[in-house]
Amino acid sequence: MAVSSILLQAVPPFDFWSTLQAHGWVDLLPNEYQAATNSFLRIEELSSGKVVRLDISAGEDDDSVPIMIEIQHTGKLSGADRSQIENAVRHMLRLDEDFAEFYALCRQHGRPWSEMLPGKGRLLRSPDLFEDMVKVICTTNIQWGGTRRMVRELVESFGSPYPFNSQLKAFPKAETIAAVPFSEFQARLHLGYRAAYIHTLAVHYAEGRQMFNDFFKSESSSAEIKKKLLAIKGIGNYAAASILMLLGCYDEIPVDSVFQQLMYQKYFHQEDFDLKDALVIYADWGKWKYLAYWFDLLTFHQMAENERASD
């Protein structure tokens, strides 16, 4: 086994821990949170075919936050391999996104947003859009434990194994799933009615990867991207808002049971409400609605947790 390393610099303010913990993505394979070191590992299949293990952690510094990537691999990493790993981690941690405008809005709003510390607000994502789209479909109409199970089944059944520990696998490529007959794909996993959505997505993604990657182009408005997302079977309003967030567009709220529960408990005093009235609550956040809602949700749960602890 060979070990290499890459050091990145995150421009402050940057909060590594909250980026990992802000939503559940760090707990979905092939990511694995390492609580003892406040880091996470990830098995990544590179374009060169190498399957490597990444251990990603962060240090403390006043001027910049060093992001350390330890890479365990076979043979020698090429320049292209190293570049791909660096870009993947930059993308996952959103090192190139600028949240200054959001932080300024937080300071203008009252609590809880005024307590938003700069550096927070980022939500971890996957290096590849296909992985994030599949994972979002796996969050629909199921509890979180079911999402973790379905993603685990996908990785264990179709992911490329890490050469030094075949128990560890990368997230399956769209091409890999597309090459499996649907009947076999459906039989080997327990995805319910989502099996057809995910298999069809894999086929289309493998055929037209560039079309999906065009979602990242800045000239596409989030409304245009949303329209394209809604045309994909298995993706409705909730999933589209979630995928837009993962793409870096925060202007749509993912209306699901979690959102409804927050509205019911915090804003409508345990009474029925109209969805339009609920969405008005975040209307003045413009293109930052998702982050405003998500921080509201996290702090509401944190306060409830604190109250339980003090009882």
Partner DNA sequence: TTCCAGGGGTAGA
Partner DNA sequence: TCTACCCATGGA
Residue 84: phi, psi to the nearest 5?
A: -65, -40
Please, what sign has the CA dihedral across residues 124, 126, 127, 133?
negative
Asked if residue 292 binds DNA (CB under 7 A), the reply is no
* Inter-CA distances, 223 with 104, 227, 276, Å: 24, 6, 19
Asked if residue 74 binds DNA (CB under 7 A), the reply is no
Contacts with DNA in 158-217 (CB under 7 A)? Answer: 190-193
Asked if residue 30 binds DNA (CB under 7 A), the reply is no
Smallest distance from the beta carbon of 86 to DNA, in angstroms? 26
Smallest distance from the beta carbon of 95 to DNA, in angstroms? 21
Would you say 150 and 138 are in contact if contact means Cβ atoms under 8 Å apart?
yes
List of residues 6+ apart from 165 with CB closer than 8 A: none
Smallest distance from the beta carbon of 15 to DNA, in angstroms? 18
Smallest distance from the beta carbon of 104 to DNA, in angstroms? 25
Smallest distance from the beta carbon of 193 to DNA, in angstroms? 4
The 10 Å Cβ neighbour count of residue 248 is 16
Instruction: Give the residue among 126, 213, 131, 124 at the shortest CA–CA distance from 172.
Output: 131
**Stretch touching DNA by CB under 7 A, among 4-12, 79-87, 239-247, 277-285:** 239-247
Residue number with CB closer to DNA (23 or 199): 23
Smallest distance from the beta carbon of 198 to DNA, in angstroms? 12
Helix (H, G, I), strand (E, B) or coil at 249: coil
Asked if residue 270 binds DNA (CB under 7 A), the reply is no
Report the DSSP pairing between strands 39-45 and 51-58: antiparallel
Using CB under 7 A, pick the residue from 9, 213, 221, 257 that binds DNA. 257
Contacts with DNA in 121-150 (CB under 7 A)? Answer: 139-147, 149
Size of residue set near DNA by CB under 7 A: 31
Asked if residue 299 binds DNA (CB under 7 A), the reply is no
**Residue spans of beta strands (DSSP E) within the chain:** 2-10, 31-34, 39-45, 51-58, 65-73, 161-162, 165-169
Asked if residue 279 binds DNA (CB under 7 A), the reply is no
Query: How many whole angstroms separate alpha carbon 307 and alpha carbon 185?
Result: 46
Smallest distance from the beta carbon of 132 to DNA, in angstroms? 11
Instruction: Give the residue among 101, 22, 29, 93 at the shortest CA–CA distance from 57.
Output: 93
List of residues 6+ apart from 248 with CB closer than 8 A: 94, 97
Using CB under 7 A, pick the residue from 13, 24, 112, 163 that binds DNA. 24
Query: How many whole angstroms separate alpha carbon 288 and alpha carbon 102?
Result: 6
Residue number with CB closer to DNA (46 or 241): 241
Asked if residue 306 binds DNA (CB under 7 A), the reply is no
Residue number with CB closer to DNA (107 or 190): 190
Smallest distance from the beta carbon of 79 to DNA, in angstroms? 36
Q: Name the site residues for DNA (rule: CB under 7 A).
A: 23-24, 139-147, 149, 190-193, 230, 232-240, 242, 254, 256-258
